[in-house]
Structures are given as C-alpha cells and as structure tokens.
Amino acid sequence: MTIRTSALSLALALPLLALAPAIANANPSAAAVSVAPYAPITVAEVEAAQLAWGDALVAISTEYERNGRDAAKTLAGKVLDAAYAYDMGPVLFKPTLAAAPNTFRTTRDGALAYFVGGDSRFPADSGFALKGWRAYKIENAGIVITGNSAISMGNVHLTDAKGNVTVVDKTWGYVRGADGKLRIVLHHSSLPYAGK
C-alpha cells in the first residue's frame, strides 16, 4: 500500500519541485537513458509514478490559483507529455467526471480538456485539475507487473482547499517511454458505487 499524506503547507511548497525531474526528462533526446525501454517495470517505479501523478495534480491546481488558467494549461500540457503515453499511441483514459459522448479520451487534446477545460469540443469539461486540490493519498489494492508493462488498482483520496475529500476508484496502466520513464497508457477513474 502506497500512502502519501501531505500536510497542506507542504503540498503547496513541494509539488513543483517534485514535478521538476519528470519534466526535465520529458525530452528523450536530452535525457541520459539510465533504464532501457525494454527493461521490466518495478513496483517502486509504479509507486513513484503514482506519486508523480498526485504531485502534478496538486501542482496544476496551485499554478492555476497563482498564475491563472493559461499558466495552468501550459503546466498541464507538460505533465501530460511527461506522465502519459500519448506520444506513443492512443491512451485508454476514462476520467472520473467524463460522460458520453466524451467518456473516453484517447487523444492528448481530450485529456488536456479534461484537466483544464476551455475546449469547445469537450463542452462539459470544467477543468478537473483546477478544483483546488491540495493533497492526495494513494491506497493500492494491488500492483501487477506484466513484464515491461504494469497495472495498478486502488483508491485515490483527493483533498481540496476546503478540506473536502473525494475518493475515486482508480486503475492505471504503465509502459516505458523512450527515455526509460514510466508513461500512463491506461487510466480508468470512477466514483465509488453509491448503492441503489
């Protein structure tokens, strides 16, 4: 079980730093490759990628509040390029609050619209990453490594600026990018079943 509970003040201060290494290596041609793309994925790498995702979500929220939507959108684009595998092919992404006819976001544009809104092709998107997220906690029900790909399932707890906590059922799938870093190729997020 991977748990990171960030105190609010820490969450405000740290995420941009935590995100920096991922962004710095987002350009494969500039990065020294320390891990071959064909190498097996480790549980530690999956856990680190999960923390990077949580850090990035808080970072985008923080950037939005400090520097506005354009800045947040720029950061979200960098996060998508560093954390998701849209440059490698389609990504299977079902965001928490997405519904038909835009339930599935297999393209980078669709993912960016979900996180920061403002795209007329996805009119229902109000920007999930702009909702004042301050902290997160990840509880894995399981991580399964399938050679040089991996999947995880569990709960993610998201805390906003008012202290409200949203819990989601979360599945991620990972492959390696050309720089050897994990990329999300699968992301299914859903609100818990509320009963009948």
| Among residues 3, 13, 24, 39, the one that binds a copy of itself under rule CB under 8 A | 39
**C-beta closer to a copy of itself: residue 18 or 189:** 189
Contacting residue, 90, 123, 164, 165, with a copy of itself by CB under 8 A: 90
Q: Which of 104, 119, 137, 160 binds a copy of itself (CB under 8 A)?
A: 104
How far apart CA 95 and CA 79 sit, in angstroms, is 16
Pattern 43-72, binding to a copy of itself, x per CB under 8 A? ------------------------------
State which amino acid sits at residue 76: A
Q: How far apart are CA 68 and CA 60, in angstroms?
A: 10
For a copy of itself, the binding residue among 12, 22, 23, 41 (CB under 8 A) is 41
Say how many residues make up the chain. Answer: 196
Task: Count Cα neighbours of 103 within 13 Å in the Cβ-side half-sphere.
Answer: 6
H helices of 25-154, in order, are 43-83, 108-116
Taking the complex as a whole, the smallest distance from the CB of residue 16 to a copy of itself amounts, in Å, to 26
CA distance 162 to 76: 23
Between 22 and 186, name the residue whose CB sits nearer to a copy of itself. Answer: 186
CB of 115 to a copy of itself, least distance (A): 15
Q: What share of the chain is helix, strand, coil (3-state, %, to 5)?
A: 35, 25, 40
- Return the structure tokens found at 26: 């987002």
Strand partners, 190: 169
- C-alpha 190/C-alpha 196 separation (Å) is 16
Question: Which residue bears the tokens 């619209």?
Answer: 113
Query: Residue 15 or 110: which CB sits closer to a copy of itself?
Result: 110
Shortest Cβ 44–a copy of itself spacing (Å):
13
**Chain residues 116-175 in contact with a copy of itself, contact rule CB under 8 A:** 124, 141-142, 144-149, 151-155, 169, 171, 173, 175
Q: CA-to-CA distance for 168 and 61, rounded, in angstroms?
A: 18
Q: Which residues bind a copy of itself (CB under 8 A)?
A: 28-29, 33, 36-42, 85, 87-90, 92-94, 96-100, 103-104, 106, 124, 141-142, 144-149, 151-155, 169, 171, 173, 175-176, 178, 185-186, 188, 190-195
